[in-house]
Amino acid sequence: MAEVTLREVGLRDGLQAEERVLSPEEKAALLQALRDTGLSRLEVTSFVHPRAIPQLGDAEAFLDVAEKPPGQVWSALVPNRRGAERAAARPIVDEWTFFLSASERHNQANVRMSVEASMRAAAEVADAAQGAGRRTSAVVATSFVCPYAGPTPPGDVVGLARRLFALGYRTLLFGDTIGAASPTMVRRLVRELRDALPDAELGLHFHNTRGQAPANALAGFTEGVRLFDGSIGGMGGCPYAPGATGNVATEDLAWLFEAEGHATGLDLARLARAARTAETLVGRRLPGAVMRTFDAAPGGGGRRDAPWPSS
Ligand code: COA
Ligand code: ZN
C-alpha cells in the first residue's frame, strides 16, 4: 500500500512546454512506457484552446488512440464551460481538473480572465462534472510566487481554496509555477490549508526551476501532504510564466520518498526507462537526475551505479 501518491503530469504540463509537438501516436507510446511503472493517477491532456497550447491541441485525437490500463485514473485540465463540453464527450477522462492562479496578473496571462471570472467558471465546471458523473480536482497556480507580482500572500491562496472546496472540489493542488518556493513557505501554506480545510485532499505541484522541488516536497510531506505532481524525466514548464522550467521529475520524487522509507508503489527502474523514452520522444536531454543512475542499455533495468533504493 503506497503511503505517498505521485501524480504523473508529464503528458500535460510536461508536453505543453516542450518545443517538439508530439503526435497522438507518440503520446500513446509515452503512455505505454508509463504503463507498468505503478502510476495510478495521470493528467493526460487539457481541454483548453488549441491556440493557447498547440502541443495539446490534439486532446480528442490523442484520447481516441490512447489505451487506459485498468486501475489508472486519468485527469485533464478543464478551464471553462467549453472545456467541460469537450471533456464530457470523452468519458475515458475520469477527473476534470479546474485551474486558476492565485495571482490576478498570472491568471489574466494564462486564461484571459480575472480571478473572480475564473471562480464563476469553477462553479460551472463543477456543476457540469457533477452532471456528467466525473470526479473533480482543482489546481491553484502561483500559490507561492507569481512571476509578475512576486510572493503570493498565503491568505489569498487559502481564501481561494475555501471557495473551491465549497464548490465541491475536494482534491486541491497548489502550484509553485515558477519554482521559487522554499520549504518554509511550503510548511506555512500547508499548515494554514490544513487548519482551514481538514477534510480536503491536499496536493503539491512543484517546478524545479531552482532545484528546490525535492526539498519543498519533503517539507510538504512532513506537514501531512500525501499527493505530489511530477513529470517523467522533468519535462515541461509553463508557457505563460516567463522563466518557468520543468516539473520536478517523477522518478526523482519517487527515489526521495522511497529512500526516506515512504512507499510510493512505483517501480524506479521502469520509471527511469520511461524517462529515457520521454527523452527520445521530445528530442532533448531531460533534467531528471535519478534516470541517469540507471543503465541506458536496451531492455535495460541494469545499473551503472547502485540506484538505491531499488524496487
Ligand atoms: N477549448 C476550445 N475552445 C475554446 C475553449 C476551450 N476550452 N474555451 C473557449 N474556446 C473558444 C470559444 O468557443 C471561442 O471560439 P469562437 O471564437 O469560435 O466562438 C473562442 O475560444 C473564444 O472564447 P473565450 O471564452 O473568449 O475564450 P478566450 O479566448 O478568452 O480563452 C481560455 C480562454 C481559457 C480558453 C484560453 O485562455 C486557454 O485555453 N488558456 C489555456 C492556458 C493553459 O492551458 N495554460 C497552461 C496551464 S497552467
Ligand atoms: Zn505546472
Give the confidence band of 239 by pLDDT, cuts at 50, 70, 90.
Answer: low
Distance 108 CA to ligand 2 centre (A): 16
Give the confidence band of 304 by pLDDT, cuts at 50, 70, 90.
Answer: very low
Out of 16, 48, 245, mutate this one to test ligand 1's pocket (max ligand atoms within 8 Å of CB): namely 48
Is 146 an active-site residue?
no
CA atoms 261, 264, 265, 267: torsion sign: negative
Segment 213-225, tens digit of pLDDT: 999 999 999 999 9
Segment 161-183, tens digit of pLDDT: 999 999 999 999 999 999 999 99
pLDDT score, position 309: 73
The residue whose CA has the least distance to atom 36 of ligand 1 is 111
pLDDT score, position 21: 94
Q: What is the pTM of this model?
A: 0.95
In which residue are the cell numbers 507498468 written? 36
Q: Which of 238, 269, 275, 290 is catalytic?
A: 238
Segment 84-100, tens digit of pLDDT: 999 999 999 999 999 99
Give the confidence band of 1 by pLDDT, cuts at 50, 70, 90.
Answer: confident
Q: Give the mean pLDDT of 235-259.
A: 84
Residue with the larger pLDDT of the pair 18 and 300: 18
Residue-averaged pLDDT of the chain: 94
Of 280, 286, 178, 268, nearest in space to 231 by CA: 286
Task: Encode 101-127: b = buried (16+ Cβ within 10 Å), e = exposed.
Answer: bbbbebbbbbbebebeebbebbebbbe
pLDDT(134) > 90 = yes
Whole-number Cα distances in Å, 4 to 53, 200, 257: 30, 16, 8
In which residue are the cell numbers 493557447 written? 52
Please work out whether the CB of residue 82 comes within 6 Å of at least one atom of ligand 1: yes
HSE-up (13 A, CA, CB side) for residue 173:
28
Give the confidence band of 248 by pLDDT, cuts at 50, 70, 90.
Answer: very high
Ligand at minimal distance from the CA of 89 is 1
Measured distance CA(48)–CA(99) in Å, rounded = 11
| Local structure of 172: helix, strand or coil | strand
Q: Give the mean pLDDT of 105-113.
A: 96
Going by their DSSP bridges, the two strands 171-176 and 150-151 should be labelled as: unpaired
The residue whose CA has the least distance to atom 11 of ligand 1 is 49
| Local structure of 138: helix, strand or coil | strand
Q: Give the mean pLDDT of 232-243.
A: 75
pLDDT score, position 294: 85
Segment 192-211, tens digit of pLDDT: 999 999 999 999 999 999 99
pLDDT score, position 160: 98
Ligand at minimal distance from the CA of 101 is 1
Helix (H) or strand (E) holding 147, with range, is none
CA angle 174, 86, 29 (to 5 degrees): 75
Question: ω before 309 within 30° of 0 (cis)?
Answer: yes
Distance 40 CA to ligand 1 centre (A): 29
Distance 177 CA to ligand 2 centre (A): 5
Please give the grid coordinates belonging to residue 14: 510536461
Q: From the CA of 241, give the closest atom in ligand 1.
A: 48
Please work out whether the CB of residue 100 comes within 6 Å of at least one atom of ligand 1: no
Give the confidence band of 116 by pLDDT, cuts at 50, 70, 90.
Answer: very high
Q: Give the mean pLDDT of 15-28.
A: 95
Please give the grid coordinates belonging to residue 195: 487548519
